[in-house]
Amino acid sequence: MQTPSPHWPENIVEQLNQWGHALGFSQIGVAGVDLSHAEPGLLAWLEEGCHGGMAYMAKHGTARARPHELVPATVRVITARMNYLPDLQMGAGTATAAPLEQGGVGVDVGALSDDWRAIAWADMNKLGSAYVSVYARGRDYHKVMRGRLQQLATQLQTLIGPYGYRVFTDSAPVLEAELATMSGQGWRGKHSLVLNREAGSMFFLGEIFVDVALPITEPTTDHCGQCTSCMDVCPTQAIVAPYKVDARRCISYLTIEHEGAIDERLRSAMGNRIYGCDDCQLTCPWNKFAQVAPVPDFAVRQALDAPTLLQLWAWDEATFLRLTEGSAIRRIGHARWLRNVATAMGNALAELSSLPALSEVSGSPDLAVDLMRALAQHSDHPNAAVREHVEWALQQYHQC
């Protein structure tokens, strides 16, 4: 371990934040490595099976709460957060945040008419449309964060000399949210995400494990009070208690991590959410302060700008791989993508069945016919889960 040197500047954390802001990070903090307070809750959550099919969660077990076991000699963890909200009002390929060289760190979306949230809710409730979680509409955050964290770690070397470090961003057994709260990035919301008074929860987290005894930044206080909006709005009631999410019911888990067919009892509640779910964030009052991303990487891809279910269903595997290159979506593969879209198509058919007159549906009076014809094209798909979801989807339409 490298102990503090009298030659280090007293404002070393402030310097880290200056460098971090220039790299697009919203805030840099420093946490200690004693996470023993979080270990019992982690083990209980795993024991209850709340991690679902994420075997890697159980495999690493307590290592998540023991940074020094993951990276020997670690004594501090530098934490970073980066706002990722694209300007939904501007559409694909637009980056409106102030340039970094001008000190731009995002703008208050409230000033843009508040309501990126209203736009997202509308997308989620538009018949025949597909909803992709806001964070996944641009470039893969792993790629964006990792390179910039590496640059930050290298810059620190110019100040203190050689030291040991390792960079992480949602890619290893790390209790990211706990480290973030310990270092003052925010507090844990009842949905288990980290909340910040100036940015809501629309940001990514990353860490640099170091063997340098940097000054620790202080945690902040909880500002959720008695609010339970996130718990109340969850379509599948996955937030089973304050600060506790059962992944087996969570739409984000079901559409991204879960293999095979999705529990039929949960399919209807998934609506048109085909990759991830933002409900608990959209309803959170603190997200009226969400900040637009200061880097262009998270701008919405054209292929994911207000897509319809029929458009996405038409992607063959080659098209899927091409249009999701460099995106976090690509990792789920084409079959899981089709499974998710088929589920949403079934829910659209169920909604169409409930309408008094199909001819009154704006935009496509033949939407039900189009959906069923498209689904039928994959009725013999080689993947069993896709076939099952196609069959289920077709059964959701009941013509009056």
d(CA 274, CA 309): 9
Query: Would you state the pLDDT for residue 365?
Result: 57
Query: Would you state the pLDDT for residue 87?
Result: 83
Supply 220's token pair: 């902040």
**Percent helix, percent strand, percent coil in the chain, to nearest 5:** 45, 10, 40
d(CA 334, CA 318): 9
| Cα-Cα-Cα-Cα dihedral sign, residues 239, 241, 244, 246 | negative
**Residues involved in catalysis:** 170
Supply 263's token pair: 């529990």
DSSP string, 306-317: S-BHHHHHT--H
Burial class of residue 148, CB neighbours in 10 A (0-12, 13-18, 19+): buried
Amino acid of residue 165 = Y
Query: Would you state the pLDDT for residue 263?
Result: 98
d(CA 293, CA 183): 22
Query: Would you state the pLDDT for residue 137?
Result: 97
For residue 77, give Cα distances in angstroms to 156, 174, 183, 281, 282: 13, 11, 9, 27, 30
Amino acid of residue 303 = A
- pTM of the full predicted structure? 0.90
293: Cα within 13 Å, side-chain hemisphere:
26
**233-255 in b/e burial notation, b at 16+ Cβ within 10 A?**
bbbbebbeeeebbbbbbbbbbbb
Sorted by where each begins, the domain ranges of the chain are: 12-227+280-301, 308-400
d(CA 221, CA 48): 29
* Beta strand 131-132 pairing with 76-83: unpaired
CA 156 to chain centre: 28
For residue 307, give Cα distances in angstroms to 26, 300, 369: 30, 11, 19
Residue 246 contacts residue 216 (beta carbons within 8 Å): no
d(CA 257, CA 252): 8
Residue 188 contacts residue 181 (beta carbons within 8 Å): yes
Query: Would you state the pLDDT for residue 154?
Result: 97
Query: Would you state the pLDDT for residue 4?
Result: 54
DSSP string, 195-234: EBTTTBT-EEEEEEEESB-PPPPPP-----TT--HHHHH-
Mean pLDDT for each consecutive 10-residue tract of the chain (400 residues)?
Answer: 62 96 98 95 95 86 85 97 85 42 39 73 95 97 96 96 94 92 98 98 98 97 97 98 98 98 98 98 96 95 96 98 97 98 98 74 72 97 98 87
Query: Would you state the pLDDT for residue 9?
Result: 75
